[in-house]
Amino acid sequence: MTSTISRLALAAFAISASILSAQPAFAAVACGSGNFDAWLAELKTDAAAKGISQQAIATGLAGVTLDPSVLNRDRSQKVFSQTFEEFSGRMVPPRLQRGSDKMKQYGSVLSRIEQAYGVPGEVLVAIWGLETDYGVNTGKFATIRSLATLAYDCRRSELFRAELMDALRIVQRGDLAPAEMKGAWAGELGQTQFMPSSWMKYAVDFDGNGKRDLLHNAPDVLASTANYLAGYGWQKGKDWQPGSPNFEVLKQWNKSEVYSKTIAYFAAQLARAP
């Protein structure tokens, strides 16, 4: 739901220098060339050259076609314009009681996560609620099809090509089967909406069942979100309100000042909840 706002709509053209410099090994078929099938065939060759297994390539890209609805959504994005008062007033009150219930339900898990990563449970539950209503609304778009569509499109081809490669690596690693990979239209996956690159870097198997499952497994979801924040410099035991170093970490989760302030406000409300 809000993940598209958080990681893509607000930074549509903020492609990292590393991605810009990483030109594909095989680029004879250009983005938007009018021949998606030829482009996809060359992408498969490039994926193999990058060390992705033939099985992951074959299963992950089988039957993939262009999705015009994804292109339409990408082109119709509107800049986030709500004030903090408007956004937080709409998003927090209907999620507060359930968030408090989740704090109780996962109290011991959240305590262990805070010990491991330093991130308080209130912050994680606030993000969880804002992103997908605690896992209720994770999205229904086929992730690999969405990423292939956006990689073929010329607006941000290199960004999404890199994400598509990481989606195939998720398949190769055995975290998810391609059919399970459904999420937001721009490729975010899971109950706190990780892009595939973040999944590969920060997803953890917190309950020790042998899988990093951010779609169905709440302990993995919450711990992986904490690992993400810790990776960006979260300071254990410190405040997370605007002006603090930890608030700057929240802005790495979400570039929007309004959205980040809403996370901080929601987390503070959860901390005070009975």
Catalytic residues: 131
Please, where are the H alpha helices in the chain? 3, 17-21, 36-49, 54-61, 68-75, 84-91, 93-105, 107-117, 121-132, 143-152, 157-173, 196-202, 218-231, 245-253, 257-272
**DSSP line for 120-169:** -HHHHHHHHHHHHTTTT----EEHHHHHHHHHHSSSSHHHHHHHHHHHHH
Within its chain, how far is the Cα of 152 from the centroid? 20
Report yes or no: 226 and 113 within 8 Å, Cβ to Cβ. yes
CA–CA separation, 61 and 44 (whole Å) = 8
Sign (positive or negative) of CA dihedral 217, 222, 227, 229: positive
> Which residue reads 């339900």 in tokens?
105
The SS3 assignment for 265 reads: helix
